[in-house]
Amino acid sequence: MNQTLSRDEYTALEEILVLAKGSRPSACVARNTKRLAGLKLVKIGRSGHPELTDLGRQTLFIKQCVDGLRELSQDPLAVLDAGVGTFLEKKGHATRDPETGLLSLTARGRETLADIDSKSA
């Protein structure tokens, strides 16, 4: 991910993901579609409505993973999406306590989060 997206652009991606077929996109989606299409995160479907590309889905998933790392660092009782939790476990960023089933950050997860925060500052 070489591009930096604004909070509004991430919101537009999330709205496109859950946009029902035939429904009218929100003003946020309309405002950001051109730039997101230029970054190849969104494409205009045959119906004329925006759709996420594979890269767009991947970008949203990465954001969800980073948000999950932040949630775990702030609240050890945080419950993450199953896909995000599984991914963080497989990559060694989090471990699951066998007794409670709760996730906790590993040293690698803390290092990754510190690296992400240092690059965004």
| Bigger pLDDT: 10 vs 47 | 10
DSSP H helices, 1-121, are 7-18, 27-38, 54-74, 82-90, 107-120
Q: What is the CATH number of the domain that holds 116?
A: 1.10.10
Q: Do residue 66 and residue 105 come from a single domain?
A: yes
Q: Do residue 47 and residue 82 come from a single domain?
A: no
Domain housing 43: 7-52
The span from the CA of 100 to the CA of 76, in Å, is 12
Q: Do residue 48 and residue 62 come from a single domain?
A: no
For residue 79, being part of any structural domain is answered with: yes
Residue range 70-98: mean pLDDT, rounded: 92
pLDDT in tens, 38-74: 999 999 988 888 999 999 999 999 999 999 999 999 9
pLDDT in tens, 73-83: 999 888 899 99
For residue 23, being part of any structural domain is answered with: yes
pLDDT for the residue numbered 121: 64
Q: Do residue 96 and residue 45 come from a single domain?
A: no
For residue 2, being part of any structural domain is answered with: no
Question: pTM value?
Answer: 0.86
Q: Do residue 83 and residue 104 come from a single domain?
A: yes
Q: Please give the tally of structural domains in the chain.
A: 2
Q: Do residue 13 and residue 64 come from a single domain?
A: no
Beta bridge partners of 94: 105
- 4 DSSP assignment: -
Contacts of residue 114, Cβ cutoff 8 Å, sequence gap at least 6: none
